[in-house]
Amino acid sequence: MKKAVMIISLVSLLMMGICIDDVLASSKKNQPSENYLTFSFVIYPVSVGYKRQVAHSFYFTGNVDYEGSNGDLYFQGGAAYMIPRKFWIFWFYGGGGWQFSRNHGYQFPYLTLGTRVWFLSWEVVYPLLRGEETGYRFGFSIAF
């Protein structure tokens, strides 16, 4: 468990170092938006997420997932790095964070990979704990 937390911390520090404006060359037309609000209800569980830009292509993230079958609310908080270049119509990002449960408290760290295309978003959440299932999100994304 400590090893996974250390890996996530090191990846987060690496992402912060990569995000410095002077390191990356980019034009205004290829800049991702500063804020994203996502609504995922196509794939279970229902989820609402928010990404806030804190540095060039570096975002703090937060998600709230509701799972009705066990009546639990999951909170995920972390960081993500959005590649500052658009690939055809896709924006790709990756990151990590920690998941908490309303009923059980701290659960596990996770890694996430995702993409945005127009007003849609797709995200895969990979828990760094054995026995946990990989999570998926697909839904709408609003950039503002």
Closest CA to 74 of 108, 111, 120, 124: 108
Residue 94: exposure state from Cβ atoms within 10 A (0-12, 13-18, ≥19): middle
What was the pLDDT predicted at 74?
Answer: 92
Hey, where are the domains in the chain? 2-143
Contacts of 25 (CB under 8 A, 6+ apart): none
* pLDDT recorded at residue 7: 67
Say what the pTM is: 0.72
pLDDT (0 to 100) of residue 13: 59
Amino acid 138: pLDDT? 92
pLDDT in tens, the chain (144 residues): 667 666 666 666 555 555 544 444 554 555 667 888 999 877 767 899 999 999 888 999 999 998 888 888 999 999 999 988 888 889 999 999 999 999 988 899 999 999 998 889 999 999 998 888 898 899 999 888
Q: How far apart are CA 36 and CA 63, in angstroms?
A: 11
CATH, domain 2-143, list 1.10.287, 2.40.160, 2.60.40, 3.90.550: 2.40.160
Q: What is the 3-state secondary structure (H, E, C) of 53-82?
A: EEECCEEEEEEEEEECCCCEEEEEEEEEEE
